[in-house]
């Protein structure tokens, strides 16, 4: 007989909570969305419409006063609150998933990891871009050795938003942990480290380009990995035309992709995971593998964000490692901190 679904309390029902975490939790046969915490009445109403039967709570104090029915807490609130809420969940003896970035600093992330280990609790970070179609396809090509020995990994997350949208994500207050370095930069750095291992050195260039912008909106990061691969990473809100999403160069072949995985747009549009076409890219979006002499399209593996929460549920039941650990998130934060230092002082930072 199958075990009952694990009951989840979701703190936050903004973009991250409503469009990403709640639908993915609801789509999992091993998880059940039990409680949503939001201080905004309109978001509470939306949560109840989106997920009939869900309990809504107005604030974290009320939530943590009654968590006996829960098996997992998910933190999908503004960045500045991640550490405090994650620590509160762990001290309440609850496993926790935190939206990226886990913290503002690697030191804070390591402290949370130590607390989770001390309490024997799962702590994972939602670095969902490891389950993008292009990333999964690239990983399979690397596993097969189709590119030969890779010497350069290029990755871009570029947008065309010439006017700032405001809000905490674009705040210049360091406490808000805003700006593209910690937003989209979290994705490209995590992917680079997941593929090619720890960073030995970090160099970065970062600018605030748009009129009225407060935080970085155009940043370049160069990582030399301890294994010798160089990662060149771009994040920008002011890219009027976009470069390749991925360009990976090896001594046998290169792999190049354009455009973003379809899952984010589908979730934002209200689509829900579960059908056979979820995460499937059309042939027009497939990357190409080869050389200047001969290259051919490679069918993309489907994007699979649901796999993250499936792995979280499995880890909770088995006591195994989560799909993304807090210490992996700390490694990403260490690179982001080094990038900020490098850009401010125009130096290369040595990490290993």
pLDDT in tens, 307-352: 999 999 999 999 999 999 999 999 999 999 999 999 999 999 999 8
d(CA 148, CA 86) in angstroms, rounded, equals 41
The answer, yes or no, to whether residue 111 has pLDDT greater than 80, is yes
154's torsion region: left (phi>0), alpha (psi -120 to 50) or beta? beta
Nearest C-alpha neighbor of 240 from the set 211, 210, 262, 214:
210
pLDDT category, 21, cuts 50, 70, 90? very high
Contacts of 161 (CB under 8 A, 6+ apart): 210, 237, 238
pLDDT in tens, 259-295: 999 999 999 999 999 888 999 999 999 999 999 999 9
How many angstroms separate the first and last alpha carbons of the chain?
50
d(CA 77, CA 53) in angstroms, rounded, equals 22
The answer, yes or no, to whether residue 1 has pLDDT greater than 50, is no
DSSP code at position 39: S
Nearest C-alpha neighbor of 81 from the set 129, 37, 32:
37
> What does the pLDDT average to over 28-52?
97
> Which 3 state secondary structure label does DSSP give 288?
strand
pLDDT in tens, 189-206: 999 999 999 999 999 999
Q: What is the pLDDT of residue 275?
A: 87
Q: What is the pLDDT of residue 234?
A: 98
98's torsion region: left (phi>0), alpha (psi -120 to 50) or beta? beta
> What does the pLDDT average to over 159-178?
94
The answer, yes or no, to whether residue 73 has pLDDT greater than 90, is yes
> What does the pLDDT average to over 83-103?
98
> Which 3 state secondary structure label does DSSP give 277?
coil
β-pairing, 6-11 vs 72-75, is parallel
Q: What is the sign of the dihedral through the CA atoms of 207, 211, 213 and 217? A: negative
Percentages of the chain per state (helix, strand, coil), in multiples of 5 = 40, 25, 40
Entry pTM: 0.95
Nearest C-alpha neighbor of 274 from the set 17, 5, 29, 4:
29
Cβ atoms < 10 Å from Cβ of 269: 8
d(CA 339, CA 117) in angstroms, rounded, equals 28
> Which 3 state secondary structure label does DSSP give 317?
helix
Percent of the chain with pLDDT over 90: 98
d(CA 288, CA 145) in angstroms, rounded, equals 15
228's torsion region: left (phi>0), alpha (psi -120 to 50) or beta? left
Q: What is the pLDDT of residue 352?
A: 85
> What does the pLDDT average to over 128-151?
98
pLDDT category, 2, cuts 50, 70, 90? low
**Within a 13 Å sphere around the CA of 320, how many CA atoms are in the beta-carbon half?**
11
Task: Kindly state the tokens that stand for 37.
Answer: 């915490």
Q: What are phi and psi of 149, to 5 degrees?
A: -85, 115
Q: What is the pLDDT of residue 200?
A: 98
* DSSP strands (E only) in 159-279: 199-207, 218-225, 230-236, 246-250, 254-257
Domains of the chain in sequence order? 6-128 (3.40.50.720), 129-307+334-350 (3.30.360.10)
| Alpha helix segments (H runs only) across the chain | 15, 22-27, 41-50, 60-64, 82-91, 106-119, 133-144, 184-196, 263-268, 306-318, 326-345
β-pairing, 295-298 vs 123-126, is unpaired
Cβ atoms < 10 Å from Cβ of 294: 8
Task: Kindly state the tokens that stand for 208.
Answer: 């605030």
């Amino acid at each position: 007989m199958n075990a009952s679904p694990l009951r989840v309390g979701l703190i936050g029902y903004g973009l991250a909570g409503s469009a990403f975490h709640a639908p993915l939790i609801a789509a999992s046969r091993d998880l059940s969305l039990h409680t949503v915490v939001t201080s905004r009445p309109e978001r509470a109403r939306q949560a109840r419409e989106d997920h009939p039967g869900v309990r809504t709570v107005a604030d974290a104090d009320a939530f943590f006063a009654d968590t006996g029915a829960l098996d997992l807490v998910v933190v999908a609130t503004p960045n500045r609150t991640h550490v405090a809420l994650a620590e509160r969940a762990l001290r309440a003896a609850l496993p926790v998933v935190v939206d990226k970035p886990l913290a503002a600093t690697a030191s804070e992330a390591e402290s949370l990891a130590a607390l989770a280990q001390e309490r024997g609790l799962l702590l994972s970070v939602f670095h969902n871009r490891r389950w993008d179609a292009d990333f999964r396809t690239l990983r399979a090509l690397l596993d097969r050795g189709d590119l030969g020995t890779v010497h350069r990994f290029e990755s871009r997350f570029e947008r065309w938003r010439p006017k700032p949208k405001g809000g905490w994500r674009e705040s210049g207050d360091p406490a808000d942990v805003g700006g593209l370095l910690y937003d989209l930069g979290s994705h490209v750095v995590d992917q680079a480290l997941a593929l090619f291992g720890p960073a030995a050195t970090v160099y970065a260039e970062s600018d605030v380009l748009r009129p009225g912008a407060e935080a970085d909106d155009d940043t370049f990061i160069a990582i030399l990995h301890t294994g010798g691969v160089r990662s060149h990473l771009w994040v920008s809100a002011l890219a009027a035309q976009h470069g390749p999403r991925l360009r990976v160069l090896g001594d046998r072949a290169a792999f190049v992709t354009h455009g973003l995985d379809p899952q984010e747009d589908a979730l934002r549009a209200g689509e829900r995971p579960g059908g056979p076409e979820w995460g499937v890219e059309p042939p027009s979006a497939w990357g190409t593998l080869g050389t200047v002499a001969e290259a051919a399209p490679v069918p993309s593996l489907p994007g699979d964000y649901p796999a993250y929460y499936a792995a979280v549920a499995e880890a909770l039941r088995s006591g195994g490692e989560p799909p993304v650990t807090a210490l992996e998130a700390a490694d990403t934060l260490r690179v982001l901190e080094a990038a900020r230092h490098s850009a401010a002082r125009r130096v290369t930072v040595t990490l290993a």
